[in-house]
Chains A and B, each alone.
Chain A
């Protein structure tokens, strides 16, 4: 029997090696970004002083805010609708169960993934150069940005539909368009709409920061007030923006749940018809409002030359920039970016732990406790990392350290929420058993809770790392260190070959990390 051999304690070398590697990365990143513990502590009073100056907010500033705020909304409405116009057909082309010919579906998926790798701020910076500063650039950026998100979401839900009705439509003898109209669309319509709303929520957040690189909306105003050291006004901008974002998200989430889960009881045909008409009317009204409100006149006459020059440059990347002996090259900047996101990740993964236990409903007796924890997390979460970054830049000066803080703090909100959910979803049986054994709170935590949630925690942290890396590539564009800094210089200087090589570097790094992290995550769970 195997009994004798199986009873030997398995070696733990793998665990020790992993911990050592992670620690080595941590030290390396800290050195790279100058974000050591003393440095962190030194920054705290400066951040505190900065926050003190933000209060009380200049509430009267609202009069100047509402116009750019409207512009922000209009940009995202127009951007999302145009993006959706292209995203759905592409999703159908990319879905393997709808488009059976690989030479159509493979390129469709390629376009989709390519659009998704480029972040919102980068689109905005590029379009600001091509069509000139202003809302036109912002709208175009949002078109591409939402297109990337929405096509991916729609593609995934399309591939997941029930093949039965499709088969039935084939059997009836429907041609491809009829087949889609009666076999596919009825199945995906609610999901497609829910995705549209979700994308709209994301695009509003994006839209509010695009102004930082000159693409219209509230971001420009925020940048101006910060440059004038009017932190009280900046604070009121952030607060007003958050209020608008939260209101829209709440309404939109309501609709999304309704779309996906349905209302109470079966919907009567008359009522659902009314909803459809109402939805179309509201959408049209918003569209008209956006078209009339936006000054989409910023198109420079030279845009075509710029575009040509850009593409030419992008296809002839500046390979010499990959490594320069004197430093400040692509590789070192990418390494710095990786360090920023890794460090930010570690910071948030540790800081969010108490928040997660605070917010988890099954870790405290009263709903009031966990509810307040959830609220705190969602407040942290609503402030976009880019806004956090410009705030930290003002507080601790430009550089990677501000980037680490921004990513770290923003991720606390996201990771804390995921962690809290992991805690809530765990099996409470072992907790009961440990209580019966006579364990106190800490021992219960160590023996019943931690072993259960650790794999989920690790997996979420890795997932967050993938997202943080994407954000870290952007943060440099507004001065928070990393690859974004040379990128924005190259864009503003119109040195397209340099932009090309940096983009290649970003895409390769992001894809590589995605691949590694994805593999690890599969192993963990």
Chain B
């Protein structure tokens, strides 16, 4: 369970990132955050694992405040939160397997990791994670030999190998074409359903949000303006979130159906 308690973020230059957010996300939910670019989607997502710091309030994960966590405690909490990035953030020159294994570093001592010695159990786990996203056969290829969609699936596998209880995905499909977009979203959805991993995704395609989410959160200028089930998120609601009518480029369109 993730709880936001009066969370605010003000940048040093005075810009408001988040404004008094109160939210509770229950285990196993598939939440999609929507909003214009600059509305604070990324800030909200990254404040959960503290890649971005908040200036006020508290964020609790399973009842424990990550906002107050320090040093090793913070690292330990991050270990349970997987993250998927728009630009994949893989080490392109390393093998796929090594990239997936890098999700396991939180489980072992620093010395052991500097030597790069992973136990067989980790390797098996990594290979299984790759199998789950259907790229087991690419395990020993270099990451940059893979297509964009495949690379994103490697980063999903990294989060799986991490044995994360929560997956944060920050615009996971923004650099992908429509077809691979659906494959990646399908993977995320399947993992969410099969393993019960709480999944929070930032998206700017409205139709994708409707198709995959169980719950939609709308942000506008750092403020929570909508929070509810998909069924209630009508075009009108989106119009309110965006402050205007939906544009064509905010729809992925029918590709892949």
Q: Residues on A close to B: CB < 8 A? A: 1-4, 6-10, 427, 429-430, 432-440, 442-443, 446-448, 451-452, 454-455
CB distance from A279 to the nearest CB of B (A): 43
Known interface pairs A437-B78, A437-B79; 4 further A-B residue pairs with C-beta atoms within 8 A, sorted by A's residue number? A7-B139, A427-B92, A451-B98, A452-B91
Q: How far is the CA of A436 from the CA of B82 in the complex (A)?
A: 7
Determine whether the beta carbon of A6 is less than 8 Å from that of B141: yes
Q: Is B90 close to A, CB under 8 A?
A: yes
Q: Is B81 close to A, CB under 8 A?
A: yes
Q: Is B60 close to A, CB under 8 A?
A: no
**Could you say which residues of chain A place their CB within 8 Å of the CB of B74?**
438
Q: How far is the CA of A266 from the CA of B34 in the complex (A)?
A: 45
Which of B1-9, B108-116, B219-227 lies at the interface with chain A?
B108-116
Determine whether the beta carbon of A6 is less than 8 Å from that of B105: no
Known: A446-B116, A455-B93. A2 touches B75 (CB 8 A): no
Q: Which residue of B lies closest to A432 (CB)?
A: B89
Determine whether the beta carbon of A433 is less than 8 Å from that of B83: yes
Determine whether the beta carbon of A6 is less than 8 Å from that of B87: no
In the complex, chain B residues 58-88 whose Cβ is within 8 Å of any chain A Cβ: 72, 74-83, 85, 87-88
Q: Which residue of B lies closest to A441 (CB)?
A: B110
Closest 9 CB pairs of A and B: A3-B137, A438-B78, A429-B89, A438-B79, A433-B89, A436-B83, A438-B106, A438-B75, A447-B102
Q: Is B17 close to A, CB under 8 A?
A: no
Determine whether the beta carbon of B51 is less than 8 Å from that of A451: no
Q: How far is the CA of A442 from the CA of B106 in the complex (A)?
A: 11
Known: A438-B75, A440-B75. A447 touches B106 (CB 8 A): no
Q: How far is the CA of A399 from the CA of B120 in the complex (A)?
A: 51
Determine whether the beta carbon of A438 is less than 8 Å from that of B83: no
Determine whether the beta carbon of A446 is less than 8 Å from that of B158: no
A-B contact pairs, 14 of them (CB 8 A): A2-B137, A7-B139, A7-B140, A427-B92, A432-B85, A433-B89, A434-B105, A436-B83, A438-B81, A438-B106, A446-B114, A448-B102, A454-B93, A455-B93
Q: Which residue of B lies closest to A431 (CB)?
A: B89
Q: Which residue of A lies closest to B102 (CB)?
A: A447
Determine whether the beta carbon of A439 is less than 8 Å from that of B106: yes
Known: A440-B110, A447-B102, A452-B93. A435 touches B78 (CB 8 A): yes
Q: Which residue of B lies closest to A9 (CB)?
A: B140
**Could you say which residues of chain B place their CB within 8 Å of the CB of A9?**
140
Q: Is B49 close to A, CB under 8 A?
A: yes
Determine whether the beta carbon of A437 is less than 8 Å from that of B102: yes
CB distance from A174 to the nearest CB of B (A): 48
**Could you say which residues of chain B place their CB within 8 Å of the CB of A429?**
85, 87-90
**Could you say which residues of chain B place their CB within 8 Å of the CB of A4?**
137
Determine whether the beta carbon of B90 is less than 8 Å from that of A436: no
Q: How far is the CA of A268 from the CA of B76 in the complex (A)?
A: 61
Q: How far is the CA of A446 from the CA of B105 in the complex (A)?
A: 10
Q: Is B162 close to A, CB under 8 A?
A: yes
Say which residue of A434, A436, A442, A454 sits within 8 Å of B81 (CB atoms).
A436
Q: Which residue of A lies closest to B87 (CB)?
A: A429
CB distance from A362 to the nearest CB of B (A): 15
Q: How far is the CA of A39 from the CA of B189 in the complex (A)?
A: 64
Determine whether the beta carbon of A446 is less than 8 Å from that of B113: yes
**Could you say which residues of chain A place their CB within 8 Å of the CB of B91?**
430, 447-448, 451-452
Determine whether the beta carbon of B106 is less than 8 Å from that of A435: no
Q: Which residue of B lies closest to A433 (CB)?
A: B89
Known: A430-B89, A435-B78, A437-B78. A8 touches B140 (CB 8 A): yes
Q: How far is the CA of A454 from the CA of B85 in the complex (A)?
A: 24
**Could you say which residues of chain B place their CB within 8 Å of the CB of A435?**
51, 78
Q: How far is the CA of A6 from the CA of B130 in the complex (A)?
A: 14
**Could you say which residues of chain A place their CB within 8 Å of the CB of B158?**
433, 437
